[in-house]
Amino acid sequence: DRLAADHVLPEAFGAEASALFKQVKNIQIVACGTSYHAGMVARYWIESLTNTPCQVEVASEFRYRHVAVQPGTLFVSISQSGETADTLAALRHSKDNNYLGSLAICNVGTSSLVRESDLVLLTRAGPEIGVASTKAFTTQLVGLLLLTLALGRAQNSLDTEQESSIIAALRNLPKILNDTLALSTSIEQLAQCFAEKHHALFLGRGEQYPVALEGALKLKEISYIHAEAYPAGELKHGPLALVDSEMPVIAVAPNNDLLEKLKSNLQEVSARGGQLFVFADSSVPFIEDTQTRVIKVPSIHPTLAPILYTVVLQLLSYHVAVLKGTDVDQPRNLAKSVTV
């Protein structure tokens, strides 16, 4: 609610930020793990809504390579903890190059990342108890959408009607997310189909591809089921070979202009006997059959769909992990903050 009431407008960024945003010609986003997936979603938003080129890279690679920096590039780091060693090293590495400035999107106000960046957007998700990032991710997405709007405003590149519809949808987001949480019981039932599985495939298109990546990461992290994610259109270039009646395939299907393409990709899965689990916008007629389970999720503005579909995939991983009896908050081999 706090996000909806106070932090929803691009004015969340101050005058200093707006002045800098006017000069931005390019964006470089760097992060690790779940935060990296948030950056991948943001690239779709930034490029489609503001027409500003944007690159996204994992910090563990970025920090060690020579980067050809375009003039006017803003360096954006994303981190829940603000102490992830690779992300911090990437920020320090960026200072040797000619960036316009640095912006940290972070959940911990006292962290090193915040202290060392020129501009900061705090996500205010509150303390994350579990190792696997969940509410930090959804607030990062909201922060990145605000960044996109603030950038577009500063550069006069936003379509005003589109901007108003996104702001209205952001205000309604807490309500829609609450309605979505009510799906928990049906997702818990669905989770039974995964408890004995060793592999799973996640599919999405456009900005839902990073959502699929995040869904797969959550399932790996907390239930130890091997999961892969692909852009649905990439299936035919290899992963289709994995599909048989034992392979659960999870797809995220918001009501957007890629829906028909996604549906035809899903038919390729059905034709190979794959088991489909489709999280679909409730306004979209998706046919259930013996191979296809459809979970209807509340309708949402297409731009905000990554936020909502992430939550249903988080719920799925959570219920699978609980069924399997793994430690949801403290998965084996992982640390909350990777500081070395």
Three-state secondary structure call for residue 269:
helix
The one among 50, 60, 73, 81 contacting ligand F1P by CB under 6 A = 81
Tokens (6 digits) for 146: 């605000």
What is the secondary structure of 144-200 as a DSSP string?
HHHHHHHHHHHTT-S-HHHHHHHHHHHHHHHHHHHHHHTTHHHHHHHHTTTTT-SEE
Distance CA 70, CA 152 (A): 19
Q: Which of residues 112-171 bind ligand F1P (CB under 6 A)?
A: 131-133
Smallest distance from the beta carbon of 333 to ligand F1P, in angstroms? 11
Categorise residue 124: left if φ over 0, alpha if ψ from -120 to 50, beta otherwise.
left
To the query of whether residue 324 is one of the catalytic residues in this protein, the response is no
Tokens of residue 324, six digits:
């399997």
Size of the site for ligand F1P (CB under 6 A): 16
Residue 287's CB is within 10 A of a number of other CB atoms, namely: 8
Span from 74-82, 90-98, 234-242, 278-286 in contact with ligand F1P (CB under 6 A): 74-82
Binder of ligand F1P out of 12, 24, 35, 74 (CB under 6 A):
35
Task: Out of 28, 52, 60, 84, name the contact with ligand F1P by CB under 6 A.
Answer: 84
Catalytic pick among 220, 263, 296, 336: 336
DSSP string covering 306-335: HHHHHHHHHHHHHHHHHHHT--SSS-TT--
Candidate list 28, 34, 117, 292; residue touching ligand F1P; CB under 6 A? 34
If one asks whether residue 220 binds ligand F1P (CB under 6 A), the answer comes out as no
Segment near ligand F1P (CB under 6 A); pick from 73-81, 182-190, 204-212, 247-255: 73-81
Active site residues: 336
Interface ranges with ligand F1P (CB under 6 A): 32-35, 79-81, 84, 87, 131-133, 334, 336-338
